[in-house]
Structures are given as structure tokens and as C-alpha cells.
Amino acid sequence: MKRWVVALAVFGLAGCGTPVAGKAVPGEAPSAPDAGVVRWVNNFCAVAEYMVASGGVQFQPPEGDPAQAKKSVSESLGRVVDVLDVVLHDLGELTPAPEPAADAAVEVVVEPLGRARDKFAKAKSTVDGAPELSVEVYSSAIQDMTEAVTVMNDAVQKMGVVSLPDGYKDAAEHAENCS
């Protein structure tokens, strides 16, 4: 009896291999990411690239002329504040995101960057408000800059590990500013 069951099963399965007329039904193709999400991720990555490209400002006052040293430090601080203003503005333009979970990722970065910007602005104000760049003025400015850099590094680290929704991760593969 077992042989007949096995024989019928094999014979029956052999019939399944017979070609039939018609077209194959396609399987589910992976869906392309939403264009709005790709655009959002592309802009998010652009902000990160801008921050990296704008980094590396040196705060070494020139030796000699105190007026030139003050001007040089003030200009350097001004450039950093300007960069952070652009970054904060551009991050603000990303909200509201297509998904609320992405808004949280932006907020995680904006808060420390805002604090860093304020510290750099305070250092610039200290330098600009002094009649000359004395050791005391420079030390005060350096203290604010050190705190700002610490907070800014925190923001950059958060930007590197920020968790975006899955659809956003997939969209990064289609966004030219994300590498």
C-alpha cells in the first residue's frame, strides 16, 4: 500500500512540472522610497556635510599687534557663528518631517548645536567688547570656545548615531548627499 501512495504522489508531482499556457505572476518588487523622504534625507545629509566641510577653524591670534589679534579672533568666531546659524536654520527647515519620528532626530542635534552657537557668540561678544585682546579677555574667550567645542562635538556625535525610521535609512541609498 505504501508503494502505491508513494507512486501516486510521485506521479502527481510529475504532472505539476508540465508547462501551462499563460504568464507568470510577478513577485512583489521592492518599493521605491517616497520621494519626499528621499528629499528630506538628502537635505539632512547635506547639513551634516556642510558642518564637516566648515569645521577646522583655528583660533591662534597673530603675534605682535594686539588690534590685529583682536580682529583675527573676532573674525574667526564670527565665521563659526555664521556656520552654526546656517546649520541651525537648515535643520529647522527639515521640520516637520514626513514622519514625526524624524523630527525627534533633528531635535536631538539642534539643542546642542544651539548651545554651542551661543557659547561661540558669547566668546565673540567678549572679544568685541574689550578695548584690546588682553590675556584675560583671550582666556575668557577660550573658556567659552572650549565649552562650545565640547557641546558641538556632542552634537556631531549625535548626528552620526541618530536613529531615523527604517524608510529613511532606505532613502539614504537614493540621496546623493548621503554617502
Please report, in tens digits, the pLDDT of each residue of the chain (179 residues total).
333 333 323 333 334 444 445 454 454 545 677 889 999 999 988 988 888 787 665 666 667 788 888 898 899 899 999 999 999 999 999 999 998 888 888 888 899 989 999 999 999 999 999 998 888 998 999 999 999 989 888 877 776 777 778 888 888 889 999 87
In this structure, is residue 4 part of a structural domain?
no
d(CA 96, CA 111): 16
Write down the H helix ranges in the chain: 2-16, 35-54, 66-93, 100-129, 135-161, 166-172
Burial of 156 (0-12, 13-18, 19+ CB in 10 A): middle
In this prediction, residue 102 carries a pLDDT of: 87
In this prediction, residue 96 carries a pLDDT of: 92
In this prediction, residue 20 carries a pLDDT of: 44
- By the 8 A CB rule, do 158 and 109 touch? yes
In this structure, is residue 16 part of a structural domain?
no
In this prediction, residue 59 carries a pLDDT of: 63
In this prediction, residue 9 carries a pLDDT of: 32
In this prediction, residue 27 carries a pLDDT of: 45
Burial of 133 (0-12, 13-18, 19+ CB in 10 A): buried
In this structure, is residue 147 part of a structural domain?
yes
In this prediction, residue 38 carries a pLDDT of: 92
In this structure, is residue 15 part of a structural domain?
no
Range of the domain at 89: 32-172
Quick check: bond before 96 cis, omega within 30? Answer: yes
Structure letter (DSSP) for residue 173: T
Tell me the CATH number at 135.
1.20.120
In this prediction, residue 74 carries a pLDDT of: 92
In this structure, is residue 178 part of a structural domain?
no
In this structure, is residue 90 part of a structural domain?
yes
Cα–Cα nearest to 166, from 94, 102, 89, 112: 102
Structure letter (DSSP) for residue 134: -
* Counted domains in the chain: 1
Packing angle of the helix pair 66-93, 100-129 (nearest 10 deg): 160
In this structure, is residue 21 part of a structural domain?
no
